């Protein structure tokens, strides 16, 4: 029962954009119990360790679509920075 609940929580954090299943930087940071800014800094410092299609930045239109479809990400609506998303 507990594993089912955990799996359901993770599944609600996964979206599909550009043919990839992705997770938004804020959700991934929460899973790692760190700040979004710290996660992004570490990834950028170690970018050569990851494949090219590991992450990308959403466009303004994609960000708006994400906010429209997911109420818990409403804080992104007024952000001037488009979020990074991470692929499987």
Question: What does the pLDDT read at residue 86?
Answer: 94
pLDDT single digits (tens) 30-86: 888 999 999 999 998 999 998 888 999 999 999 999 999 888 888 888 888 899 999
d(CA 82, CA 60) in angstroms, rounded, equals: 6
Would 3 be classed as within a structural domain?
Answer: no
Q: Is the dihedral of CA 61, 66, 71, 76 positive or negative?
A: negative
Range of the domain at 20: 8-87
Question: What does the pLDDT read at residue 67?
Answer: 92
Would 43 be classed as within a structural domain?
Answer: yes
Region 12-16 average pLDDT: 91
Would 41 be classed as within a structural domain?
Answer: yes
- Closest by CA position to 66, among listed 76, 56, 57: 76
Question: What does the pLDDT read at residue 75?
Answer: 85
Question: What does the pLDDT read at residue 65?
Answer: 93
* β-pairing verdict for 84-87 and 55-57: antiparallel
Would 67 be classed as within a structural domain?
Answer: yes
Q: How many domains does the chain have?
A: 1
Yes or no: say if 17 and 85 are a contact pair by the CB < 8 Å rule: yes
d(CA 15, CA 47) in angstroms, rounded, equals: 23
Model pTM score: 0.80
């Amino acid at each position: 029962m507990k594993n089912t609940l955990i799996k359901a929580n993770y599944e609600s954090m996964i979206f599909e954009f550009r043919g990839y299943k992705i997770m938004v930087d804020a959700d991934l940071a929460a899973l790692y119990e760190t700040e979004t800014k710290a996660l992004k800094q570490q990834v950028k410092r170690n970018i050569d360790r990851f494949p090219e299609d590991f992450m990308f930045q959403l466009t303004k239109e994609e960000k708006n679509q994400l906010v429209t479809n997911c109420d818990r990400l409403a804080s992104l609506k007024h952000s001037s920075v488009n979020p990074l998303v991470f692929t499987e």
